Structure 1
Amino acid sequence: MADVAFEHLEIRHCIYMEDDVRSFTDETEFDRVFSDLTEYFSDLSTGWTLYGRYSDHAGQFLAMAIGDFDERDDAFTVMNALLAPMAKARDLAREPEFPIKPGVQISPAEMAACALDDFINQSSNHERL
């Protein structure tokens, strides 16, 4: 797989039809399509999918499914958990400088970098893979 770097995350309502998944960013469109499809299919299932959005080498904006959920709240819980380390780093970057030890100052940017380093290191340590 080519290098992928998500530009953002999004949650979409989905209709699952055998090997086909139809995802929607608009709930009105989802309701319309679901209503139309139920006229022909009696066993449709629905759910919520968390996607990572990224651009490929050709500049095409793509979506990669990260997880499927029965409940919308569950999808948002996981998305918010993934975003939490970045939010923590953002908040640290906005903090005023403060001393860790007497006479030692750490910049807000360095505090944010340390928070992100910790998350990245804890996630990519080969002992945990």
Structure 2
Amino acid sequence: MSTIAVDFDGVLHSYERGWADGTIYGDWKPGAVVALSQLMRRHAVFVHTTRPARQVARWIEQRSGHGIECTTRVPRTGWLRRPGFWNEHGVLLVTDRKLAATHYIDDRAVRFETWPQALRDVGIEPLVGEVP
């Protein structure tokens, strides 16, 4: 079983008006609830967000209609109590941390292959022959 990370705004939540006043005002993106449920049946899944995690967890639990159970308790490991890995099946972690995952589903991602390609993807023409 692998771990899948899913962004909240723009991927699960419609986010049509942007951040606005911080209220979660929109609805689910079409197909998001069913897709999230499918992912949770086969993988450990966490939602990452810049919003308060409890607010997002409450929104998901109240609006899913699929009985999705959420937690905001990030597992800790080691004596320094660093954030650990999420590998719990059937419970959705909601966090503002970027934990390790095998896949990240995000509407604002730039797939990295090379630096010239990444720069072009964000609208910058790479310099030719520049020494690192």
Higher relative contact order (CA 8 A, sep 6+): 2
Which of the two has higher C-alpha Rg? Answer: 1
- Counting strand residues as a fraction of each chain, which structure ranks higher? 1
TM-score of the two chains, using structure 1 as the length reference = 0.21
TM-score of the two chains, using structure 2 as the length reference = 0.21
